[in-house]
Amino acid sequence: MFDGWEAQAPVVGRIAFAMLLGGAIGLEREMKDRPAGFRTHMLVAGAAAMLTGMGDMMLALAQHEGDERVRIDPFRLVEAVIAGVAFIGAGTMIAHRGRVVAGITTAASLLMVAVIGVAVGFGHGWLALLATLLTFAVLSVLAWLERRVAKRTDDG
- Tens of pLDDT, residue by residue, the chain (156 residues): 556 788 789 999 999 999 999 999 999 988 988 878 899 999 999 999 999 988 878 777 777 777 676 667 778 888 988 998 988 888 887 765 667 777 888 889 999 999 999 999 999 999 999 999 999 999 988 888 888 887 777 776
pLDDT at 39: 94
Q: What is the pLDDT of residue 114?
A: 96
Q: DSSP letter at 71?
A: -
17 contacts 49 by C-beta, under 8 angstroms: yes
| Domain boundaries of the chain, sorted by first residue | 5-155
DSSP H stretches of helix in the chain? 5-31, 38-64, 74-92, 104-121, 125-136, 142-155
Q: What is the pLDDT of residue 122?
A: 92
Q: Is 102 helix (H, G, I), strand (E, B) or coil?
A: strand
What pLDDT, on a 0 to 100 scale, did the predictor assign at position 59?
76
What's the pTM value of the predicted model, to 2 decimals? 0.84
Under 8 Å between Cβ of 14 and 121:
yes
pLDDT of residue 35: 77
Kind plus residue range of the DSSP H or E element containing 2? none
Of 131, 127, 149, 129, nearest to 139 (Cα)? 131
At residue 10, what is the residue type?
A: P
Cα 154 from Cα 156, distance rounded (Å): 6
Rounded CA Rg of the chain? 19
Q: Give residues with Cβ within 8 angstroms of 110, minimum separation 6.
A: 36, 40, 41, 44, 85, 88, 89, 92
